[in-house]
Amino acid sequence: MGRSLCAYTLVDASQVPVPQRRAFVLAQAKRWAPFADPSFYVAWSGSAAMVWSWSTAEALAPALQGERRPRRVLPETVLRAEPRDGGAELVRVDEGFEGRAWSDGVLQASAWWAAEPSAAEWSAFLRGTGRPAQETVPVALEAPLRTAAWHARRDAGVALDLGRHRASIVLAIAALGVLAICVPLGSALRLWGEARRLEGAIARQEVLVAEIMAAREKAEGDAAAIQAHLALRPPVGQVRTLAAMLRALPAGWTLLEWRLLEGVRLEAVLRVDAPDPRAVVRGLEAARIFDAVSAEMGARPDEIVVKATLVPAQQDPRS
């Protein structure tokens, strides 16, 4: 699969138990993949998983045009050049150029350009990997296609096409059957049965992982919706707010207007026989559910405009 049709990411599985790393990387890859119908290729180096993804429809396009369906799909990156211990390089690929940043045999980052990148584009790529910028672009490496994928240096070189592993397993077992041509028919049947059971186990694991990820995403969505609704709830109920005003204000006042803005900012217009803004401020502040209280004369001599912020009693800034 041409580099121009692939996306790349690096997954760190160092905090995941070894038996669970494969399922963890598959789940992370499905969440990250920028395609609606993703296929994947993973190359391991210790606990680091180098993951490529592409559209399955793009991979099967030749078959839809009458050509032979590919038995396995590999990203172009693993078929050109070799892993490096460190540094960055520019590689000419089938369509354009690929920038690669390495660290101890692990591909930290990969970028693709349709044409040779400018010095600014190359420097931006380097800075994105934590390397200093360069004033010049390196000469692109001319690397012919390999006959087999390169393997990571620090591991056994296990690289699995997670999008097509069922077919790979069946083909591998079939190859073993050809090599063991002298094995009795009963042994061959047992191998076939083991292949079928293994394929069924992989399918069940995929369904389980998909269900877990779907449940997790739903739970995260529900939690976000709950938090959004809770944010709309005022810190103090309107009944309690009115009751607090009744107790805090001197007698003889009439409520003319009442507004609760954004659930926390109170604006009210009162009519008082003998307006005293300072007494109103002292009374409301003593109620302990009003903060930043201000009072000023209104449009008429007997009106006072009150502004305050509502806070729960346990969050009273004066307590």
Whether residues 13 and 134 fall in one domain: yes
Q: What is the pLDDT of residue 156?
A: 36
26 and 108 housed in the same domain: yes
Residue 184 and residue 127: Cα distance in Å, rounded? 61
Sign of CA dihedral 118, 129, 107, 165: negative
CB atoms within 10 A of CB 109: 19
Selection from 55, 74, 248 nearest residue 160 by Cα: 74
Residue 259, domain CATH? 3.30.1360.100
Q: Are residues 121 and 190 in the same domain?
A: no
**102 and 48, same domain (yes or no):** yes
Q: Same domain, yes or no, for 223 and 251?
A: no
141: left (phi over 0), alpha (psi -120 to 50) or beta: beta
- Asked if residue 111 and residue 183 are part of one domain, the reply reads no
Which run of H or of E encompasses 8?
strand 7-12
Same domain? 217 vs 258: no
**Which of 196, 215, 232 is a domain's end point?**
232
- Tens of pLDDT, residue by residue, the chain (319 residues): 899 999 999 999 999 999 999 999 999 999 999 999 999 999 999 999 999 999 988 888 776 666 666 778 899 999 999 999 999 999 999 999 999 999 999 999 999 999 999 999 999 999 999 999 988 999 999 999 988 898 644 443 344 444 445 455 456 555 556 565 655 666 667 777 777 777 777 877 777 877 787 777 777 777 777 766 655 555 566 777 777 777 777 777 788 887 877 777 888 888 887 777 888 888 888 877 788 888 888 888 888 898 988 876 554 444 4
Say whether both 8 and 150 belong to one domain.
Answer: yes
Look at the chain and report how many structural domains it folds into: 3
What is the model's pLDDT at position 171?
A: 60
Q: Are residues 97 and 24 in the same domain?
A: yes
Residue where a domain stops, chosen among 131, 163, 195: 163
Q: What is the pLDDT of residue 131?
A: 93
Same domain, 150 and 181: no
Tens of pLDDT, residues 59-105: 887 766 666 667 788 999 999 999 999 999 999 999 999 999 999 99
Q: Is the dihedral of CA 11, 17, 21, 25 positive or negative?
A: negative
Let me know whether 130 and 25 are in one domain.
yes
| 153 and 269, same domain (yes or no) | no
Are the C-beta atoms of 98 and 77 separated by less than 8 Å?
A: yes
Helix (H) or strand (E) segment spanning residue 103: strand 96-103
Show the beta-strand stretches assigned E in 159-288: 159-160, 253-261, 265-272
Give me the domain span that covers residue 275: 238-315
Q: Which of 232, 254, 280 is the last residue of a domain?
A: 232
- Secondary structure (DSSP) of 217-235: HHHHHHHHHHHHHHHHS-S
